[in-house]
């Protein structure tokens, strides 16, 4: 009996030792950026829980004020896995040497086709009219970090010799797609850039669509590859998530309308993403 007791005690102490070593692991940080009326912390918590379970490693979640702030935190070593938008993904790919592109939610084809930017205006019937009167017109964008309400339409305007920084009387950053549209409806701006589906949902009287972009791809998740963060394994776990933990994608859909009815992760389309360039304001 005494020998058995000693063996049990030794195994218990060994288990405590292993547990103590696991507790000393620096948690992986899974993070994203804030957006009005979206609980992004709740949206990434199932993802963090899933990675913690698959990696048998502690995980923390964080939300930063913007996609740019999220990428800066990853650059500074504060974030290991990020759920960015397309602008954040392009920044990370450009600015962080050790970044690894992870899989991306597979948006159903019809929904993916609807994710486009639009330019809309009041008191202007065409883009040519906007070009002629730009110096007296106010432009509303969603924000510098937005894809459909920021850098995609801004790049198009530059191609039309309408640099948002210099061509318009003023530029406001409304903070959301609905707010950018409302700025034109209320007369606080004459031109606005926003997501096409937000405009299509209401199509306010007196507001004319001037341009619509090609479909915009969603930004893949990204990982900061270090000796302590197994980015390739994480990529494989994401591809299994629809079988292992469907709640991961369900929560992401709640946080990102552009993910539509996605149910699975797929490898990112590197060729398509390489065609998207990022020009800073």
* Domain boundary assignment for the chain: 25-109+218-274, 116-212
The reply to whether domains 25-109+218-274 and 116-212 share a CATH topology is yes
Degrees, nearest 5: CA angle 80-47-35: 80
Give pLDDT tens digits for 104-156.
999 999 999 999 999 999 989 999 999 999 999 999 999 989 999 999 999 99
Pairing of strands 191-195, 117-121: antiparallel
Check: CB of residue 276 under 8 Å from CB of residue 91.
no
**91 Cα distance to chain centroid:** 11
Q: Hey, what are 211's tokens?
A: 């341009």
Q: What's the pTM? A: 0.83
Q: What does 92-106 look like in DSSP terms, one character per residue?
A: HHHH-TTEEE--EE-
Give pLDDT tens digits for 33-54.
999 889 999 999 999 999 999 9
Q: Which superfamily, per CATH, for 116-212?
A: Periplasmic binding protein-like II (3.40.190.10)
Candidate CATH numbers 2.60.120.620, 3.30.930.10, 3.40.50.720, 3.40.190.10; the one for domain 25-109+218-274:
3.40.190.10
- Rounded distance, CA 230 to CA 135, Å? 52
């Amino acid at each position: 009996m005494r020998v058995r007791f000693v063996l049990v005690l030794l195994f218990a102490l060994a288990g405590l030792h292993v547990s103590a070593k696991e507790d000393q692991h620096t948690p992986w940080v899974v993070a994203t950026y804030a957006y009005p009326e979206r609980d992004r912390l709740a949206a990434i918590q199932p993802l963090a829980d899933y990675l913690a379970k698959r990696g048998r490693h502690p995980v923390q979640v964080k939300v930063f004020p913007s996609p740019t702030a999220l990428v800066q935190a990853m650059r500074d070593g504060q974030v290991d896995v990020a759920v960015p938008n397309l602008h954040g993904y392009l920044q990370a790919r450009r600015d962080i040497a050790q970044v690894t592109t992870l899989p991306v939610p597979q948006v159903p084809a019809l929904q993916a086709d609807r994710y486009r930017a639009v330019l809309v205006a009041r008191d202007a019937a065409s883009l040519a009219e906007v070009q002629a009167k730009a110096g007296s017109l106010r432009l509303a964008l969603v924000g510098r970090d937005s894809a459909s309400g920021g850098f995609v339409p801004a790049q198009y305007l530059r191609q039309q010799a309408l640099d948002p920084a210099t061509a318009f009387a003023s530029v406001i950053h409304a903070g959301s797609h609905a707010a950018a549209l409302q700025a034109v409806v209320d007369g606080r701006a004459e031109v606005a850039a926003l997501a096409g589906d937000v405009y299509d949902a209401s199509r306010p009287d007196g507001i004319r669509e001037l341009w619509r972009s090609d479909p915009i791809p969603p930004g893949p998740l990204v990982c900061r590859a270090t000796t302590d963060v197994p980015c390739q394994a994480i990529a494989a776990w994401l591809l299994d998530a629809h079988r292992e933990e469907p709640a991961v994608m369900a929560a992401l859909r709640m946080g990102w309308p552009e993910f539509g009815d996605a149910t699975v992760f797929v490898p990112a389309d590197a060729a398509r993403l390489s065609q998207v360039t990022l020009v800073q304001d």
